[in-house]
Amino acid sequence: MITKVQKGHADEVKRKRIMRIKEAINFEIGTKEEPKIHLIGMANNSKVYFKKPGKEYFRENKRNVNDMTPNVGDLYNRYSFGDIWKDMLNLSVRISNDSYKQLNVLLYRLAYLIDCEEIDGKIRYNPTGEVNAIIKNIQKEIDSKKYNFKVLEFLNFIDILSWNEDVKYQADCTFEKPKVGRINTILSLISIPLIFKEFVDLVIEKKDYLHELDYSLLIDVAQNFSRTRGVQPMSNKKLIEYLKPYLSE
């Protein structure tokens, strides 16, 4: 599964994002006590769905009328970005480096809806062929380590989580800043664990010479977080460096 980095905002990516944004904005809205459930699809035996409205709808300040709550079965209740990073880092020490790279490239493909197809007039995540085989192989490896993590369910959750980010921040579909929303969200989910993994690897490498340890990786993360409010996607060049040969120029 060799994937080329995406440059600019391709018309096909824009078309898929617009179709999804318009679909979700038109979802019927319920109440705080009884939000409307909108079924998106299935991931193995788990329902992939939104509840509308989401919690940001009820904020007194910075209310977001389009916010929804994404979930897959009941796997991701109260599941934060921090939880995603923890799971990714836990996986990084349980599966092979190749499998970990492939998982990140699957996420990268999600950012640009590469494995999302138009089905009955709707854009849906639909990994097939080699991509589906890779998902199953990673799952088999995770299961062999007896770690409780469902790859297909996770990918479907990230798909609708980032869909919701588009609905919140790109509702007018003008894409003046095209990476805001879906793309920056997923690229940040990839980037932060990779940076921390690199630092851990560096600590292990320098364990007998800790005075030589360079903390700039973590300091840069902290500085960028303070400036960007939690969004920190790597450049294409840096992502290729981490994820080659599965992500390429």
In this predicted model, what pLDDT tens digit does every residue of 98-154 receive, in sequence order? Answer: 999 999 999 999 999 999 999 999 999 999 999 999 999 999 999 999 999 999 999
With H, G, I as helix, E, B as strand and everything else as coil, classify residue 30.
coil
Q: Which of 200, 208, 225, 205 is nearest to 82 (CA)?
A: 225
**Is residue 40 a contact partner of residue 48, using CB atoms and an 8 Å limit?**
yes
Report whether pLDDT(211) > 80. Answer: no
Pairing of strands 116-119, 69-72: unpaired
Look at residue 176 and tell me whether its pLDDT is greater than 80.
yes
- DSSP per position, 68-117: -EEEETTTTTT--HHHHHHHHHHHHTTS-HHHHHHHHHHHHHHHTTTTEE
d(CA 91, CA 239): 18
Instruction: List, for residues 216-231, the tens digit of each pLDDT value.
Output: 766 666 666 555 555 6
pLDDT, residue 60, reads 86
| H or E segment to which residue 36 belongs | strand 36-43
Mean pLDDT (whole number) for 170-178: 96
**Strands 3-4 and 247-248: what pairing?**
parallel
Q: Which residue has the higher pLDDT, 210 or 138?
A: 138
Percentage of the chain beyond pLDDT 90 is 77
Distances from the Cα of 136 to the Cα of 40, 129, 160, angstroms: 21, 11, 20
Average pLDDT over residues 189-207: 77
Residue 199 pLDDT greater than 80, yes or no: no
1 confidence band (pLDDT: 50, 70, 90) = confident
d(CA 117, CA 119): 6
Cα–Cα distance for residue pair 7/31, rounded to 1 Å: 40
* pLDDT beyond 60 at 155: yes
Token representation of residue 83: 């939880």
The mean per-residue pLDDT over the stretch 183-201 comes to 86
Look at the block and give the residue holding tokens 């921090």. Answer: 82
Residues 6+ apart with CB under 8 A from 236: 5, 6, 7
Strand partners, 43: 46
Q: Is the pTM of this model over 0.95?
A: no
pLDDT-derived band at 213 (thresholds 50, 70, 90) equals low
